[in-house]
Homo-oligomer: A and B are copies of this chain.
Amino acid sequence: MAWLRIALAQLDLTVGDIDGNVALAQDAVRRAEAAGAHVLALPEMTLTGYPVEDLVYRRTFAAASRAAIDPLARNTGELIVVAGYLDHDGGPRNGAAVLHRGAVRARYYKHFLPNYGVFDEQRYFKPGTTVPIVRVHGVDVAITICEDLWQDGGPVAAAGRSGAVLVLVINGSPFEQAKSDYRRDLVARRAAEGGATVAYVNMFGGQDELVFDGDSMVIDPAGRLLARGPRFEEALIVHDLELSPATRHDRDEAHRGITVERILLSTDELDFPAQPVSGGVVEPLAPAAEVWDAVVLATRDYVAKNGFESVVLGLSGGIDSAVVATIARDALGADAVHVVAMPSAYSSGHSVTDAEDLARRQCLHYSLVPIGEVVDAFHLALKESGGIDGLAAENLQARVRGTLLMTLSNEHGHLVLTTGNKSELATGFSTLYGDSAGGFAPIKDVPKTLVFELARWRNERARMRGETEPIPLNTITKPPSAELAPDQVDEDRLPPYDVLDAILDDYVERDLGREDLVAAGHDAATVEKVIKLVDTAEFKRRQYPPGPKISPKNFGRDRRLPITNRFRDAAR
């Protein structure tokens, strides 16, 4: 048997920041060299960040990405580095370059271009058809990219058939709930199919609505999890693998349109070290923990990568703004978080006391800006036009708050965090330019029931660690209310949140229509009410700020519906 020491680098790349990404890659190279690794795999599109969307079409951007491969290659010695980048070869390519001894020794172009959910790669890239198999210390190692791993009979199978015993897969695989388990099963299935150990490396960090969770891993053909990296954080996973040496070097036949290209880098087989290095196996995260870590990382990265140093948000005393404030504190530290209570005539007493309580528990910058006189000034200004009441007067309060937050943002340079949750976004239960105003919406993809669960879980974690619970108990236990009219509670207008979220899950995530929803056991009248709310709120969603995807189908890149849409499934 021969062996290799492999290194997998979980890096937090930034779209467009080629210099910064190269610096991260070079730092990983230095650390992998220091650890004595033979091969280092960096994430998909290492140099450009991912996804770059229409930057693909900018000639100067593609040229900068290609040009950055050379200095990175020049700094390589014996360590073999696999780096992702944007190439151009008869069309734009999602590429991987194999760097060794100062030069590019092989290139791979992603074969399977995902074009569903959040992905639009058939818009951007031309697919490749060749798999490079590089011989490293006598071991045949194949390279593939992300979606290629998801295909039965794809490049991994082709590489295995051609004798590769190790397949390096570089990824830009966004987080969604429970995907980590699925990913592990997938890597194991593919390792079995190819008869090769699969080393999977994924980026981490936030990119607009996507958050990448790391979760790099190594699984052998028998399905054994040999190493697994942490989630949502930086890591260099270094692991020694005992592998069969290459026994043949045939000219390979193309199979199902996939050809193999062989590159000899080094043929000397090494003896397995007496004290092999293990990358370790990080334990999986609990469901609430992985969502929390995802939204915290997404918020931290959106703020930092867009050049902000602080955030501001309105605190209503309710659960949503309390959870968002806590996410912001965990992401940025208390000193970067500014919270404002903006009570109106209809705000309950506890709305301010609960907000103050939360700010005190978390040491946030707190201010109180009552909105009554501003609202009165609007009423007065509109008196001659016939005055306003009802919904217009309710929304006005929310818009005064939105304007106050945006004004504080302009004056002090804070990013405004939007506090709406997914149930609200789904049903349009928010005011455009009011509570929906802001630059980033951390719980945009979190249903209300899960918001409660996260609050309880976060308090529980604090208790376990002997810390102050960040969220006041009253905020968690009182009935949710928008407080825009006297004695209002959410259930006046919406079904109870457990009922609502169950229907939304089936309507939005699973795309069931009215008759299928009723067949699934939901109450027909409630289904019709919810469908109508969801369908007619598309215009609000379109103007909502971005927020991290945590579900299989978020509002935004995943779910793309027209605003002008007369299909009323409920009415049939």
Interface residues of A (CB under 8 A from B): 14-18, 20, 51-55, 57-61, 64, 115-116, 120, 122-123, 206-208, 301-302, 305-306, 340, 367, 369-371, 373-374, 376-378, 380-382, 384-386, 388-392, 395-396, 399-400, 402-404, 406-408, 410-411, 432-433, 437, 439, 511-516, 539, 542-546, 559-569, 572
Q: Which residues of B contact A404 (CB under 8 A)?
A: 378, 381-382
Q: Which residues of B contact A122 (CB under 8 A)?
A: 115, 122-123
Complex A-B: 24 CB contacts under 8 Å: A15-B567, A16-B562, A18-B567, A60-B515, A60-B572, A64-B572, A122-B122, A367-B385, A369-B382, A369-B384, A369-B385, A371-B381, A373-B377, A373-B380, A378-B407, A389-B411, A392-B411, A395-B407, A396-B407, A399-B406, A399-B407, A406-B433, A439-B539, A542-B545
Q: In the docked arrangement, what's the CA distance between A388 and B369, Å? A: 14
Q: What would 7 more interface pairs be, CB under 8 Å, given A51-B562, A115-B122, A403-B403?
A: A59-B513, A60-B569, A116-B123, A388-B410, A392-B410, A396-B403, A543-B543
Quick one: which of A376, A392, A562 has the most chain B CB within 10 A? A562
Q: Which residues of B contact A388 (CB under 8 A)?
A: 407-408, 410-411
Q: Which residues of B contact A377 (CB under 8 A)?
A: 373-374, 376-377
> Is A433's CB under 8 angstroms from B562's CB?
no
Specify the chain B residue showing the minimal Cβ separation from A19. Answer: B566
> Is A564's CB under 8 angstroms from B15's CB?
yes
Specify the chain B residue showing the minimal Cβ separation from A568. Answer: B16
Q: In the docked arrangement, what's the CA distance between A406 and B380, Å? A: 16
Which 4 residue pairs across A and B have the least CB separation, nearest first?
A: A60-B513, A16-B567, A17-B566, A392-B410
> Is B53's CB under 8 angstroms from A561's CB?
yes
> Is B367's CB under 8 angstroms from A378's CB?
no
Q: Which residues of B contact A437 (CB under 8 A)?
A: 432-433
Specify the chain B residue showing the minimal Cβ separation from A63. Answer: B513
Q: In the docked arrangement, what's the CA distance between A264 and B402, Å? A: 66
Beyond A53-B562, A61-B569, whether A406 also contacts B432 by CB under 8 A is yes
Q: Which residues of B contact A208 (CB under 8 A)?
A: 562-564
> Is A410's CB under 8 angstroms from B395's CB?
yes
> Is B411's CB under 8 angstroms from A306's CB?
no
Q: How distant is A410 from chain B, measured CB to nearest CB, in Å?
A: 4
Specify the chain B residue showing the minimal Cβ separation from A304. Answer: B564
> Is A61's CB under 8 angstroms from B306's CB?
no
Specify the chain B residue showing the minimal Cβ separation from A553. Answer: B54
Q: In the docked arrangement, what's the CA distance between A395 and B305, Å? A: 24
Quick one: which of A380, A404, A567 has the most chain B CB within 10 A? A567
> Is A433's CB under 8 angstroms from B402's CB?
yes
> Is B374's CB under 8 angstroms from A562's CB?
no
Specify the chain B residue showing the minimal Cβ separation from A380. Answer: B373
> Is B378's CB under 8 angstroms from A511's CB?
no
Q: Which residues of B contact A384 (CB under 8 A)?
A: 367, 369
Q: Which residues of B contact A572 (CB under 8 A)?
A: 60, 64
Beyond A208-B562, A385-B408, A569-B61, whether A544 also contacts B546 by CB under 8 A is no
> Is B407's CB under 8 angstroms from A516's CB?
no
Specify the chain B residue showing the minimal Cβ separation from A65. Answer: B567
Q: How distant is A173 from chain B, measured CB to nearest CB, in Å?
A: 17
> Is A369's CB under 8 angstroms from B392's CB?
no
> Is B566's CB under 8 angstroms from A20's CB?
yes
Q: Which residues of B contact A17 (CB under 8 A)?
A: 566-567
> Is A14's CB under 8 angstroms from B564's CB?
yes
Q: How distant is A570 from chain B, measured CB to nearest CB, in Å?
A: 10
> Is A60's CB under 8 angstroms from B411's CB?
no
Q: Which residues of B contact A568 (CB under 8 A)?
A: 16
Q: Which residues of B contact A60 (CB under 8 A)?
A: 513-516, 569, 572
> Is A546's CB under 8 angstroms from B563's CB?
yes
Specify the chain B residue showing the minimal Cβ separation from A57. Answer: B511
> Is A545's CB under 8 angstroms from B543's CB?
yes
Q: How distant is A38 from chain B, measured CB to nearest CB, in Å?
A: 32
Q: How distant is A357 from chain B, measured CB to nearest CB, in Å?
A: 20
Q: In the docked arrangement, what's the CA distance between A82 and B166, Å? A: 55
Q: In the docked arrangement, what's the CA distance between A385 and B338, Å? A: 11
> Is B567's CB under 8 angstroms from A55's CB?
yes
Q: In the docked arrangement, what's the CA distance between A544 and B432, Å? A: 12
> Is B61's CB under 8 angstroms from A207's CB?
no
Q: How distant is A390 from chain B, measured CB to nearest CB, in Å?
A: 8
Q: How distant is A51 from chain B, measured CB to nearest CB, in Å?
A: 7
Q: How distant is A452 from chain B, measured CB to nearest CB, in Å?
A: 28
Q: Select one of B57, B400, B564 contacting A306, CB under 8 A.
A: B564
Q: Which residues of B contact A18 (CB under 8 A)?
A: 567
> Is A15's CB under 8 angstroms from B403's CB?
no
> Is A55's CB under 8 angstroms from B115's CB?
no
Q: Which residues of B contact A385 (CB under 8 A)?
A: 340, 367, 369, 408
Q: How distant is A306 from chain B, measured CB to nearest CB, in Å?
A: 6
> Is A54's CB under 8 angstroms from B569's CB?
no
Q: In the docked arrangement, what's the CA distance between A543 and B395, Å? A: 19
Q: How distant is A264 from chain B, measured CB to nearest CB, in Å?
A: 37
Q: How distant is A96 from chain B, measured CB to nearest CB, in Å?
A: 21
Q: Which residues of B contact A546 (CB under 8 A)?
A: 542, 563
Q: In the docked arrangement, what's the CA distance between A84 and B399, Å? A: 44
Q: In the docked arrangement, what's the CA distance between A389 and B412, Å? A: 11
Q: How distant is A294 from chain B, measured CB to nearest CB, in Å?
A: 16
